[in-house]
Structure 1
Amino acid sequence: MLVPLSTVAAFAVVLTSRAQDEAAASSTAAAQVRTYGQLARASAAVDQELLVVVAQATLSSPDVAERLGITPQSAPLLAALVADARARVRSGTDRELSLAAATGVPAAAVGSARSAIAELRDRVDGGGPLDLAALRSSWVAVADQLRAEQDVVVVAAASAAGSTSTVAAIRDVRVLADLATALTPDVVDYLSWLLDAQSPEEAQSRWEWLRSHAGVMLARESLDTIGDPALRTQALRLAGTEDAVQVAAVLDAAATDGPVVPPLPRLRALVVSADAVAAETIDLLARAVDGAAASAAADGAAAATERDRTVVVAGGALVGTVLLLWLLGHQVTRSLRRLSEQADEISRGRFVDVGSDGPREVRSVGRALGSTVDSLRRIQDQAAAVARGDLEAPVLGEPLPGPLGAVLHASVERLVDAFRTRDRLQAALRHEAAHDPLTDLPNRGQALRLTTAALHRARRSGAGTGLLFVDLDGFKAVNDRAGHAAGDAVLRTVGARMREVVRSGDTVCRLGGDEFVVLVEGVRDVAELVRLGERLVRAVSRPVAVATASGSRLVAVGASIGVALAQDGEVDGDELLARADAAVYLAKHAGRGRVEVFDEGLRSHLDERRDIEEGLRRGLAEGDVRVVYQPVLEVPTGALLGFEALPRWDRPGVGVLTPETFVPVAEQSDLVCELDRWVLRATVVQLAAWRAAAGLALDEAGPVVSVNVSARFLGDPRVTDVVLDELVAAGVPARSLVLEIGEAAVVESPTLLDRLADLRALGVRVALDDFGSGTTSIGALRHLPVDALKVDGRSVSSDPADQRLVALVVAAAHASGLTVVAEGVERADVLDRLAADACDAAQGHHLSAPLTPDRAGELFGARTGEPVG
């Protein structure tokens, strides 16, 4: 009987020991939950410090500072505010890391994080230029290190939990920690995108931000799975706070409208609100941690009670066993030993098969353990399927028995849904980033990537790579006459026709507007590309049926095509595109509806244009560009009315160049905007100096100065702010400035009329330059937001027909309330004729050549009303 008694006693000891282990495990789970919560607070604090660093870099970026309207006067105040915020978040980071060390996080992990952060702070405080991308990557690595420790701790806490309610509470903590972890990187990546706006890294920055933003969305969706109703309600309310709504307004707008830099107050409010949202989430996380720890503590108390009860029951069992063991015999002993061994194997995580032989009670326990083993195996299979990314595995759809099984299965389903949503978002974002939304053709960025890849393949194979640049003829007329919806339909049809004409291996891309390219690989000779271009011209030129407000109608466009061929991949993608662009430019100016090939002549023209562009950019930076001023005189009296500012380029090794030489080249790129702003700034500064020397107060009138601006410059939505900033900085009244815009530019881009109206609302005058060179009807003059017409110098001559035309223009302009300035007056009889026609003002070499600033300043100060020159 001693053996059975010893067995029963040992079994009682095992049960008591397990109850004791459960109590200890529950205490451990409570401590680990608190450690996990503190680690989450520490990693969030590291993210908050990175947010301040990115905000500092954003405010210190000259481009962003200019778009935010940060003046030199306000910059020190902003720097002080950033310094205060930096000190505050650094103190918070140090505090949270110290608390993390106190909760039992390995000293090596905390020490490593502290050392890395100290090194990063030294780099931030060093005063030199910051490599924000490398700095951000290092900072994120610190936060990721802490999150890796979180994962280890939370898994250990869940494993040590003593009840399903505690497991659910721990999962609630993890859901809130995931949200806290995702919030700040969302704003950090958004600010990084603002910094990279209009740069080659913009697409990558936008992709990284959209990924972070999707992480926040997924984390917020997971809040619905929080098991504690009160905690779930509080968590769902986080998205409705004033700060959360303010952050969401900025970020959701950016997701649809692009990287528009908000005003400085709103950007500061975004950072402050993001900080507040993170703090609110961390506070709620702390409450969840307290709840989970309390649940684990309750499990420990229950386990201790069970341990005591087990001791009492075991004592009674020993007494009863003395009376009953002789009935059980050898079979009971063997069955219990085997069952105990199997239970011990299971407790060690080895899922063995459990036998069900022996007495009825032993069989019942065996069946229960066997069922538990089956459930654990299913959980293991589901976890393995998720880990290897097999989201369609049938095992993921199999439910698990019991409350714990239901919670775990719901978690698996939510995790699978999150992975699928992430995959869909990533696929959609990849497609959107690489394709034009209207035609679903590869966009400009993708076209360059595909071209570069094709050239690399050609370099290895020795084959030729062709690029056809297709520019539609007459597309603007479709938009103007049939509407933009019809224009969109034409673009979709043209894209579809081009895909039908090209070979299966060729790629059709849309660069934007009415420009397409066709990438052709394995080209034998240029004649093959020319034949393809001719087929494309015929296909595109067929009429297109479009729907308009008045019903269906046929419209037609043409195509001019430029062809460029690269043999053996000897050029890069940008260069090949530039060659095709130069060829299509020749095709459009040679009569349209043609196919032109890039040859040595075009190569020389392209090199010359690039040389002029690079030289002019260097000249603007090095002071080789200056401004001269041609007087504008009143025709009847010869009195000085003002000047026209004309740039001159003293090109080293060449001499003085007039605008006709370099402005057309600048207009083919954004360099013309830089040139226009430089001339505008130089002119208003000079005008301010003249007015100060003449003793004119701000509200006093005086001669005006005209500045020619391009359509590209006026097309910038910020042009009104740019002009106003220059006037305010120089202290010049708006009415003293006249902006001249060519008639052809207004005809080709009617949207510029809104910009002109905004400028006139500031008080700036607007003149329509080179009138007579475009197609503006005289009857439309009264509807244009302009103050004056400048008659094209080619129309101001001694030819009677030109004189009658000028007289008609003067009469029509006066009837519309406009003044008229005649350009290019070279002869006295022409001036007399202009006086007879009641022309208001004139300029030209007969009256005065362009003057240096000093000579023009003398004339400005005199303002005697005497004729000049």
Structure 2
Amino acid sequence: MWTPAPWSPRRTTRRRGTPLWALLLVLVLLPVAGLTTFAVVLAGRASAAADASASAAVQVHAFGRLAQASAAVDQELLVLVVAAALDDPVVVARLGITPEFGAAVAGTVLTAADRVRAATDEQLAAARAVPASAAAAEAAQAEVAELRAEVDGGTTPELAVLRADWTAVSDRLHDRQDAVVVAAASSGTTTATVAAIRDVRLVADLAAALNPDAVDYLGWLVGAGTPEAPTRQWAWLQSHSAVALARQNLRSVTDPAMLAETTDLAVTSSARVLDQTLSLATTSGVPELTSGQLRALVLAASAVTQQTFDVLGDAVDRAASSASRDGDAAADERDATLLVAALSVSLTVLTLWLVGRQVTRSLRRLSEQAEEVSQGRLVDVGVGGPREVRSVGRALGGAVAGLRRIQAQAGAVARGDLADPVLDESLPGQLGEVVHASVQQLVEAFRQRDRLQEALAHEAAHDPLTDLPNRARALQLTTAALHRARRTGSATGLLFVDLDGFKAVNDRAGHAAGDAVLRAVGSRMREAARAGDTVCRLGGDEFVVLVEAVADVSELAALGERLVAAVSLPLTVATPTGPRPVTVGASVGVALAQDGQVDGDELLAQADAAVYRAKHAGRGRVEIFDDGLRAHIDERRDVEVALRRGLAADEVHVLYQPVVDVAGGALVGFEALARWERPGVGLLAPEAFVPVAEQSDLICELDRWVLASAVGQLARWRAEHDLAGAGGPTVSVNVSARFLAEPRVTDTVLACLVEAGLPASCLVLEIAERAVVEAPVLLSHLASLRGLGVSVALDDFGTGTTSIGALRHLPVDTLKVDGRFLSTDPADQRLVALMVATAHASGLTVVAEGVEQAAVLDRLAADSCDAAQGFHVSLPLTVAQASDLLRAEVSGAPVG
């Protein structure tokens, strides 16, 4: 390490000979260097922001070009679909198109094809001119050329293949659009620019969904009456739902002018024509369109697409302008910072030089301090000597103080301590004002980033409707509370609150009223809870309250009673028809963890089990998790694990209970009943394991297995007994609400039928009445299944709350009267007769289940009940027994 030589008179003499300009240079360089460094840092940040904004503007333009190109490809596909429809004799006959009108329309389509081809080429060429979209546009142009060659050469594939090929081109352009818009949003430097880019994407989503909607609709129209009609209808319904979702998302557009333009899109004459035609098709089945209506539909679809892309162009221009303004502002800030820094440095150098010329030899008294400062050590500068020396001393001291303040401000910014008071202190003079303004801009940028991060973190952890912590946050808070309890030895409580009667509010007053109820319930629960307790919303109508440092479980029970009382108070909500009083109740399950001995998921499961018991014990009450529930949970977990293993090990099999015609005794079909041969336990009926499966995803696996087994077995029986066509016995399969709620349930059922080779009319799917009442969303899936030809039966009818007037509107074919009504009680007998008469008036058939006496069967015949099943008719049969019964039925022997 280098060390300075000791002081000596000779060295002092040499230092006295140091030129004055060297001392002045030291005095000038230090403050100038600090100011220059700070200015360069600020200018660098502003330059980076300008580059990012410029990049965002370029990416937004590229996104717009790609969106217009993909729309042009979709438009060309629409014209091809219309041309294909006009070439189809069946479609031409169905639309009533005369040869003369067909020739005229063909000419119009040919002209439109030339126009959309030119538009496609124009948009792809424009996209190739932008670097960010050039590669995707060039690849798309090559693919379009190949597809046109097939069409022009007379080798046009079928409509489904044609659509898939063209859609693949559009999808690849959409993929590149997504990548470009993500890059644009990442480059945005202000919240306004990011919001404008998001608005562009929302409008582009609608534009991308419009043409597939019209194409799939025409595809369904062309395929009407063919085996592909249900599949094409399903594809169109998905496309139409995508348009509805995109339009709904447009409500969150942030720019008021853009929001007005997007709102106007839905009220144009073309939009009304298109919506009226397509909305009618969603409820009326296969449309019957005339040639004029078809032409009006195509023109309306083209006009709506063009109008949407005009709005998209405006959105792109707004986003690009916002990004450009950000870049200009950052560039101006950079230039101003550099200019002020240069002027300040020049002024400082000039001033120090002029003052230095008037300083005498006494300036050397400051040499030690100046040397320290020149080495980066900001020491205190003494002021003494002649006026000139004092001036220099004060100047050097001021420079040191300024550098110290700059150093302190830079340190605060580096630490992220934006609340440090030093950031509010400015240096004196014009330079100080400029530097302070730059520091404030930098601090504000950091604060804005922090506020945005805090807002995003809050949204990720809170329910948007009630602003309560959501499920994920509730589990985090519960886990943290349990960790604290483990350290302190205290107890932690969790109250699971499940609303009673909430679904009735949604059904009768609408979902907006339901949202208002949830907000009011959340507010009431916060008021009823103690200070320090945390109220969270898990989702739907389920809430939890986290309580720490619990002294006794009775404390939690008392809080639960307060919550039940608070929630049950009447309230008034706004509905489209005016204010409406509604009332909901609450059931509460309480779980207590001592010393944090469980994890968050387990504590939540315990509280859930307790509230389940509360609801089944009469609702509106508080239940506490105890050893009995713990044993029940353990037993349920064991059953679930064993059943999952049993499905894989073929321990589950299917029995078949005959369903017979009440009037003649003929075999109508079989109901498939799952049985589990559990090792070490024996044969288990569904009541022993299905409720456990229904509380997990295992029920879907069990339903799929029983469905595939029953459908395959009936197909084998039909082949064995030479039963051709759509007639013959049916097989009924019970399915759960969770299975029916799967998005691809229609595809699953169709795949089972196709694999087994069984007509759809031979399958009956049974769904419990209670499941339909509590989950109306299942109705659309049931309607789709009926569209395949599958029959739907409402099981356990009479145990739910379905109104008689609603029966004719439900997508069901059969009512299965619950066996509990087949008693000797005259009131039950009259009720069964009323059920049968009501079902027949609604066009439904009736099956009575649980028939165990001959007298009951005679009464059912008198009431004109259609079919029956039960132990009096037949016990559930094995595959071999059911096969013998079917053989006897085919040969003409009576069933019984």
Is the structural similarity TM-score above 0.5?
yes
Q: Name 2:743's counterpart in structure 1.
A: 717
Q: Name 1:597's counterpart in structure 2.
A: 624
CA distance in 2, matches of 1:580, 1:738: 38
> Please, which of 713, 731, 752 is the counterpart of residue 726 of structure 1?
752
Tell me by how many angstroms 1:648 deviates: 0.9
Q: How does 1:30-109 map to 2 (within 5 A)?
A: none
Q: Contact 2:726–2:761 (CA<8 Å) still a contact in 1?
A: no
- Look up the equivalent residue of 2:509 and give its one-letter code: A
Q: Name 1:838's counterpart in structure 2.
A: 864
TM-score, normalised to structure 2, is 0.56
Describe the superposition over 1:393-438 as per-residue Cα deviations: whole angstroms up to 9, x where unpaired. Answer: 6887899999999999999777655533432232123222322222
1:542/1:246 Cα in 2 relative to 1: closer, same or farther (>3 Å)? closer
TM-score, normalised to structure 1, is 0.58
Q: How does 1:310-325 map to 2 (within 5 A)?
A: none
1:544/1:381 Cα in 2 relative to 1: closer, same or farther (>3 Å)? same
Aligned residues between the structures: 618
Q: Name 1:29's counterpart in structure 2.
A: none
Alignment of 1:454 onto 2:421: no
CA distance in 2, matches of 1:239, 1:530: 48
Q: How does 1:318-397 map to 2 (within 5 A)?
A: 383-391=410-418
CA distance in 2, matches of 1:467, 1:331: 80
- Look up the equivalent residue of 2:520 and give its one-letter code: T
- Look up the equivalent residue of 1:709 and give its one-letter code: V
Alignment of 1:810 onto 2:836: yes
Q: Name 1:151's counterpart in structure 2.
A: none
Q: Contact 2:717–2:883 (CA<8 Å) still a contact in 1?
A: yes
1:374/1:256 Cα in 2 relative to 1: closer, same or farther (>3 Å)? farther
1:557/1:348 Cα in 2 relative to 1: closer, same or farther (>3 Å)? same
Alignment of 1:562 onto 2:529: no
Q: Name 1:762's counterpart in structure 2.
A: 788
Q: Name 2:730's counterpart in structure 1.
A: 704
Tell me by how many angstroms 1:757 deviates: 1.5
Q: Name 2:772's counterpart in structure 1.
A: 746
Q: Contact 1:638–1:865 (CA<8 Å) still a contact in 2?
A: no
- SS state of the match for residue 815, structure 2? strand
Q: Name 2:272's counterpart in structure 1.
A: none
Tell me by how many angstroms 1:524 deviates: 2.7
Task: Specify every segment of 5 or more residues in structure 2 that has no aligned partner in the other structure, as ranges.
Answer: 1-17, 26-33, 60-178, 210-244, 251-326, 328-355, 383-392
Tell me by how many angstroms 1:658 deviates: 1.0
Q: Name 1:54's counterpart in structure 2.
A: none
Tell me by how many angstroms 1:590 deviates: 2.5
Q: Contact 1:637–1:865 (CA<8 Å) still a contact in 2?
A: no
Q: Name 1:583's counterpart in structure 2.
A: 610
CA distance in 2, matches of 1:679, 1:567: 43
Tell me by how many angstroms 1:606 deviates: 2.8
Alignment of 1:795 onto 2:821: yes
Task: Specify every segment of 5 or more residues in structure 1 that has no aligned partner in the other structure, as ranges.
Answer: 1-6, 15-158, 185-211, 226-232, 258-287, 289-327, 356-365
- Look up the equivalent residue of 2:868 and give its one-letter code: A
Q: How does 1:150-165 map to 2 (within 5 A)?
A: none
CA distance in 2, matches of 1:213, 1:484: 37
- Look up the equivalent residue of 1:527 and give its one-letter code: S
> Please, which of 684, 687, 697 is the counterpart of residue 711 of structure 2?
684
> Please, which of 644, 650, 665 is the counterpart of residue 617 of structure 1?
644
CA distance in 2, matches of 1:759, 1:376: 78
Alignment of 1:849 onto 2:816: no
Describe the superposition over 1:67-123 as per-residue Cα deviations: whole angstroms up to 9, x where unpaired. Answer: xxxxxxxxxxxxxxxxxxxxxxxxxxxxxxxxxxxxxxxxxxxxxxxxxxxxxxxxx
1:682/1:346 Cα in 2 relative to 1: closer, same or farther (>3 Å)? farther
Q: Contact 1:820–1:839 (CA<8 Å) still a contact in 2?
A: yes
CA distance in 1, matches of 2:808, 2:203: 50
Tell me by how many angstroms 1:333 deviates: 13
Greater displacement, 341-350 / 621-630: 341-350
Q: Name 1:96's counterpart in structure 2.
A: none
Q: How does 1:292-691 map to 2 (within 5 A)?
A: 383-391=410-418, 416=443, 418-691=445-718
- SS state of the match for residue 438, structure 1? coil
- Look up the equivalent residue of 2:583 and give its one-letter code: A
Task: Note the aligned Cα RMSD (angstroms).
Answer: 5.7
Q: Contact 2:721–2:890 (CA<8 Å) still a contact in 1?
A: no
CA distance in 2, matches of 1:376, 1:248: 57
CA distance in 1, matches of 2:782, 2:682: 35
1:504/1:655 Cα in 2 relative to 1: closer, same or farther (>3 Å)? same
- Look up the equivalent residue of 1:621 and give its one-letter code: A
CA distance in 1, matches of 2:357, 2:445: 56
Q: Contact 2:53–2:188 (CA<8 Å) still a contact in 1?
A: no
Q: Contact 1:238–1:244 (CA<8 Å) still a contact in 2?
A: no
CA distance in 2, matches of 1:541, 1:657: 41
Q: Name 1:776's counterpart in structure 2.
A: 802
1:659/1:240 Cα in 2 relative to 1: closer, same or farther (>3 Å)? closer
- SS state of the match for residue 809, structure 1? helix
1:446/1:240 Cα in 2 relative to 1: closer, same or farther (>3 Å)? closer
Q: Contact 2:765–2:790 (CA<8 Å) still a contact in 1?
A: yes
- Look up the equivalent residue of 2:594 and give its one-letter code: Q
Describe the superposition over 1:262-283 as per-residue Cα deviations: whole angstroms up to 9, x where unpaired. Answer: xxxxxxxxxxxxxxxxxxxxxx
- SS state of the match for residue 864, structure 1? helix
Q: Name 1:819's counterpart in structure 2.
A: 845
Describe the superposition over 1:703-746 as per-residue Cα deviations: whole angstroms up to 9, x where unpaired. Answer: 32221111222233333333334334444443332211111222
1:249/1:809 Cα in 2 relative to 1: closer, same or farther (>3 Å)? same
- Look up the equivalent residue of 1:817 and give its one-letter code: G
Describe the superposition over 1:296-329 as per-residue Cα deviations: whole angstroms up to 9, x where unpaired. Answer: xxxxxxxxxxxxxxxxxxxxxxxxxxxxxxxx99
Q: Contact 1:640–1:865 (CA<8 Å) still a contact in 2?
A: no
Tell me by how many angstroms 1:389 deviates: 1.4
1:400/1:855 Cα in 2 relative to 1: closer, same or farther (>3 Å)? farther
Tell me by how many angstroms 1:392 deviates: 5.4
> Please, which of 217, 220, 240 is the counterpart of residue 187 of structure 2?
220
Q: Name 2:116's counterpart in structure 1.
A: none
Tell me by how many angstroms 1:659 deviates: 0.9
1:858/1:493 Cα in 2 relative to 1: closer, same or farther (>3 Å)? same
CA distance in 1, matches of 2:358, 2:525: 88
CA distance in 1, matches of 2:532, 2:180: 37
Tell me by how many angstroms 1:655 deviates: 0.7
Q: Contact 1:639–1:865 (CA<8 Å) still a contact in 2?
A: no
Q: Contact 2:669–2:729 (CA<8 Å) still a contact in 1?
A: yes
- Look up the equivalent residue of 1:745 and give its one-letter code: A
CA distance in 2, matches of 1:245, 1:833: 64
- Look up the equivalent residue of 1:657 and give its one-letter code: L
CA distance in 2, matches of 1:333, 1:693: 123
